């Protein structure tokens, strides 16, 4: 489930490779932070509530787009010179943006227009990044969360969460309506060809946890146009063939026990605690290659294992980070002590990048305010 942090928000732009240019870089450094209030329209009150939550970069890396939920807009920023970012403008959406992704010719935003938890609704907005005009709005038949576009520009997949009401029955699921995956086909110009007939992938009946009420959280697409979908509250994962909409595999995210971590609120000096058989409940997911992907196991319902996991698409756990994220936060002075008894460093996002011929895995700690970088080795990843 998306969370908003609206006070004092800035756009942390670049993690640039540090070290001498002629040598292999061994660390990353932040080279700029951009206060998002600077993207408000001319004449707007500078105290207007605004936020940068989900951020995407254009294919050439020269333009950034981010969701501004309070402003009902996608905001575009010129990042051609990353140390001198300049606002481009805003695309108004008429609803709350939940995610944004860049294609070669357009940007795609999930827009939540739900009246309430029961009457869930939303659409996919297709945005021209040159004019900032919305060229199409396509019904997603539910409340969107994450959006992903395929590498070849043929498909856009939208995770339709239809999120639960945490104040209803203490947030226990199932709570209808059920979520699903919405798949849109794109033409060579990046326009949706099935705007009025979206392909709906039914995910009900797969998970052991509230199988009648799947709540897709995040989606990622590999080069074979297979999508991996996390169902966080359901603690489940599904692989979907986007061309056909068929679920080709699905499996539980399982549970894990973690030792030697802080578990007492406001006390990060005591790392003698443990958690036992906690559901991973993955949030973000990213393919490493066509056969492996990585999840950030944030937790949002009854779990959260405080780490990340590398999976095969058949459901085999290839690596689990255990207590590593907790220890990284502690050793660098970034442990959220007040959260020690509740999900700790709380890994939420993951991304894959290629630097200097190496594949790197980036895992962000939402509460710890840090990004851990690992080198993919094909086996156990190496902390960079």
pLDDT tens per residue across all 384 residues of the chain: 444 333 334 566 544 555 444 344 567 888 999 999 999 988 899 899 999 999 999 999 999 999 999 999 999 999 999 999 999 999 999 999 999 999 999 999 999 999 999 999 999 999 999 999 999 999 999 999 999 999 999 999 999 999 999 999 999 999 999 999 999 999 999 999 999 999 999 999 999 999 999 999 999 999 999 999 999 999 999 999 999 999 999 999 999 999 999 999 877 778 889 999 999 999 999 999 999 999 999 999 999 999 999 999 999 999 999 999 999 999 999 999 888 998 999 999 999 999 989 999 999 998 999 999 999 999 999 999
Query: In this structure, what are the phi and psi dihedrals at residue 198, rounded to the nearest 5 degrees?
Result: -55, 145
Question: Is 195 exposed, middle or buried (CB count within 10 Å of its CB: 0-12, 13-18, 19+)?
Answer: middle
Residues of the chain with CATH 2.130.10.10: 93-252
pTM over 0.85: yes
Using an 8 Å Cβ cutoff, are 111 and 95 in contact?
yes
- Residue 378 CA to residue 376 CA, distance in Å, equals 6
Residues 65-87: pLDDT tens digits? Answer: 999 999 999 999 999 999 999 99
Enter the DSSP assignment of 163. Answer: -
* pLDDT for position 139: 99
* pLDDT for position 301: 96
Burial 241-269 (b: 16+ CB within 10 A, else e): bbeeeebeebbbbbebebeebbbeeeebe
* pLDDT for position 3: 40
Using an 8 Å Cβ cutoff, are 34 and 75 in contact?
no
- Residue 306 CA to residue 343 CA, distance in Å, equals 6
Strands 122-127 and 107-112: antiparallel
Q: CA angle 158-161-167, nearest 5°?
A: 160
* pLDDT for position 12: 60
Other CB atoms within a 10 A radius of the CB of residue 121 amount to 17
Burial 141-163 (b: 16+ CB within 10 A, else e): bbbbbbbbbbeebbbbbbbbbbb
* pLDDT for position 11: 63
* pLDDT for position 269: 74
CA atoms within 13 Å, Cβ hemisphere of 17: 15
> In whole angstroms, what separates CA 65 from the centre of its chain?
14
- Residue 59 CA to residue 190 CA, distance in Å, equals 13
- Closest C-alpha to 347, from 293, 380, 303: 303
Q: For tokens 């939550």, name the residue.
A: 53
The string of DSSP letters for 348-374 reads EEEEEEEETTEEEEEEEETTTTEEEEE
Q: Encoding tokens for residue 44?
A: 């707007």
* pLDDT for position 16: 54
- Closest C-alpha to 172, from 208, 206, 213: 213
Strands 86-92 and 96-102: unpaired
Write down the CATH superfamily of domain 93-252.
Answer: YVTN repeat-like/Quinoprotein amine dehydrogenase (2.130.10.10)
Residues 162-176: pLDDT tens digits? Answer: 999 999 999 999 999
């Amino acid at each position: 489930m998306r969370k908003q942090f609206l006070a004092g928000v800035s756009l942390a732009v670049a993690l640039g490779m540090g070290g001498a240019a002629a040598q292999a870089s061994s660390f990353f450094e932040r080279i700029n932070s951009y206060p998002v209030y600077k993207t408000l329209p001319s004449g707007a009150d500078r105290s207007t509530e605004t936020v940068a939550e989900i951020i995407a970069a254009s294919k050439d890396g020269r333009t950034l787009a981010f969701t501004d939920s309070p402003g009902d807009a996608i905001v575009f920023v010129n990042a051609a010179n990353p140390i001198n970012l300049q606002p481009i403008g805003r695309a108004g959406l008429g609803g709350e943006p939940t995610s944004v992704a860049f294609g070669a010719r357009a940007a795609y935003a999930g827009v939540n227009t739900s009246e309430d938890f029961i009457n869930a609704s939303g659409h996919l907005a297709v945005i021209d990044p040159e004019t900032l005009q919305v060229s199409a709005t396509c019904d997603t038949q539910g409340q969107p969360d994450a959006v992903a576009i395929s590498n070849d520009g043929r498909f856009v997949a939208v995770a339709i969460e239809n999120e639960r009401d945490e104040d209803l029955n203490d947030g226990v699921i199932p709570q209808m309506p059920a979520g699903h995956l919405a798949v849109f086909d794109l033409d060579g110009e990046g326009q949706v060809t099935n705007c009025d007939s979206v392909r709906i992938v039914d995910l009900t009946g797969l998970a052991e946890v509230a199988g009648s009420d799947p709540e897709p959280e995040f989606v990622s697409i590999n080069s074979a146009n297979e999508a991996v979908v996390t169902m966080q509250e359901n603690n489940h994962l599904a692989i979907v063939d986007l061309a056909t909409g068929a679920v080709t595999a699905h499996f539980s995210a399982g549970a894990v026990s973690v030792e030697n971590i802080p578990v007492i609120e406001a006390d990060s000096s005591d790392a003698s605690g443990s958690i036992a058989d906690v559901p991973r409940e993955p949030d973000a997911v990213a393919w490493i290659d066509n056969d492996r992907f990585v999840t950030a196991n944030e937790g949002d319902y009854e779990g959260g294992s405080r780490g990340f996991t590398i999976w095969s698409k058949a459901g085999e756990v290839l690596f689990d980070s255990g207590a590593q994220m907790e220890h990284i936060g502690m050793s660098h002075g970034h442990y959220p002590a007040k959260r020690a008894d509740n999900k700790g460093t709380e890994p939420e996002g993951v991304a894959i990048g290629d630097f200097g011929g190496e594949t790197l895995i980036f895992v962000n700690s939402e509460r710890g305010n840090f990004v851990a970088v690992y080198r993919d080795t094909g086996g156990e990843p190496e902390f960079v």
